[in-house]
Amino acid sequence: MASILFTIIVVVVIFGGGDTFDPLAQILRAKPLFAGMLMLVVGLIVAWKWERIGGLLTLSGLAFIAVVTGDLPPNEIFWPTLAVGLIYLGCGWRKTKTTD
Q: What is the pLDDT of residues 12-51, one digit of tens each?
A: 666 665 555 555 555 656 777 888 889 989 998 999 899 9
Question: Residue 18, CB half-sphere, CA atoms under 13 Å: how many?
Answer: 1
DSSP 77: T
On whether the CB atoms of residues 84 and 43 are closer than 8 A, the answer is: no
pLDDT value at 56 more than 90: yes
Residue 47 in 3-state DSSP?
coil
User: What digits encode the pLDDT tens for the residues 61-81?
Assistant: 988 888 887 877 666 778 888
Per DSSP, helices labelled H in 22-77 are 30-46, 51-69
pLDDT at 46: 93
CA distance 80 to 94: 21
CA distance 89 to 50: 10
pLDDT at 81: 85
- Amino acid letter for position 48: W
Which stretch of DSSP H or E encloses residue 99? helix 78-99
Question: Residue 32, CB half-sphere, CA atoms under 13 Å: how many?
Answer: 12
